[in-house]
Amino acid sequence: MTLPLTEMPRDQHSDDDRQDLARLLRRLADDGAGTGLTVAEIRDRLDERAYGLLVLILAIPCLVPGLYGVPQVVGLAILILAFQLLLGREEPWLPRWFLNLRARAAWLEGMADFTEKRLGWLERLSRPRLKAFSVGPGERFAAIFMILATVTIVLPMTNTIPSVALSLLAVGLIQRDGLFVLAGAAVATGWVGLLSAVGVGLLLGADWALRLMPGM
Task: State which residues of the chain have pLDDT below 50.
Answer: 1-15, 18, 215-216
Pairwise CA distance, residues 19 & 10, whole Å: 19
Helix (H, G, I), strand (E, B) or coil at 177: strand
Q: For residue 49, give the DSSP letter.
A: G
Q: Which H or E run contains 150?
A: helix 137-153
pLDDT of residue 1: 39
Question: Which pLDDT tens digit goes with each residue over 29-78?
Answer: 899 988 998 888 888 887 667 888 888 877 877 777 766 666 777 788 88
* Domain residue extents for the chain: 17-206
What whole-number distance in Å separates Cα of residue 141 and Cα of residue 130? 13
Residue 171 makes CB contacts below 8 A (sequence gap 6+) with 21, 52, 56, 122, 126, 177, 180, 184
Burial environment of residue 172 by CB neighbours within 10 A (0 to 12, 13 to 18, 19 or more) = buried
CA distances from 82 to 108, 185, 191, 214 (A): 24, 14, 18, 48
Closest CA to 31 of 51, 43, 45, 17: 45
Measure Cα distances from 28 to 10, 44, 108, 171 in Å: 15, 11, 7, 17
What integer pLDDT is reported at residue 207 of this predicted model? 54
Q: Following DSSP, what letter does each residue of 99-143 receive, concatenated? A: HT-EE-HHHHHHHHHHHHHHSHHHHHH--SB-GGGTSTHHHHHHH
Q: What is the pLDDT of residue 5?
A: 40
- Taking Cα atoms as reference points, which of 106, 98, 100 lies closest to residue 29? 106
The span from the CA of 200 to the CA of 198, in Å, is 5
Give dist(CA 213, CA 216) in Å, integer.
5
Q: What is the DSSP letter of 38?
A: E
pLDDT given at position 197: 84
Q: What is the H or E stretch that residue 37 is in?
A: strand 37-38
Residue 82: per-residue pLDDT:
94
